[in-house]
Structure 1
Amino acid sequence: MKKVFLCCSAGMSTSMLVKKMEQSAAQRGIEIEIAAVPMDEFSSAIVKYDACLLGPQVKYKLADFQTEAAKLNKSVAAIEPMVYGMMNGEKVLDQAVALLEKA
């Protein structure tokens, strides 16, 4: 099973989005493990997960995190602020699946 984590400043705002993504995945029959992780735990989380999506509030770390993840052949991308703000679990799930397919 593929595993992706959402990373934000404290891991709180993404927890709600993770639940919506899990609901969408269940409805669509997609097997995926999704977690919310605070930014300061990125380095330990990227080892255990296949990819990472960043919340808009930590998008400034994208280049640094992509460099670190690339050393492990893993992918990192940023969630669109509008999609994140609307807590659109389906669209973020689509982004996660696309990111995992590239990995």
Structure 2
Amino acid sequence: MEWIYLVIAGFFEISWAIGLKYSQGFTKILPSILTVIGMIASFYFLSLSLKRLPLGNAYAIWTGIGTVGTVVLGVILFKEPINVMRMSCIVFIVLGIVGLKLISID
């Protein structure tokens, strides 16, 4: 169950990171409220996953999910640039996430 909590936390991390962009420095009320809710939910589910998972692995996977998700959504939603080097780095992050999951003892 802790892995499910960690993935949920990662998705909420993506939501609040994207929400920061839409909140325009917390000047837009609805995106700001949704961003804060996403932050709270992300930390809550991360805390649940940490009951059983090693801190280092869980934190790295949580931030990795957030990083990959925000890069992908940044390209889709905000037309951010994408190139081979950027995608290569994202692939390494994904490989790191998978590797940490595979070597985790829980």
Is the helix fraction higher in 1 or 2?
A: 2
TM-score (norm 1): 0.34
Larger radius of gyration: 2
Higher strand share: 1
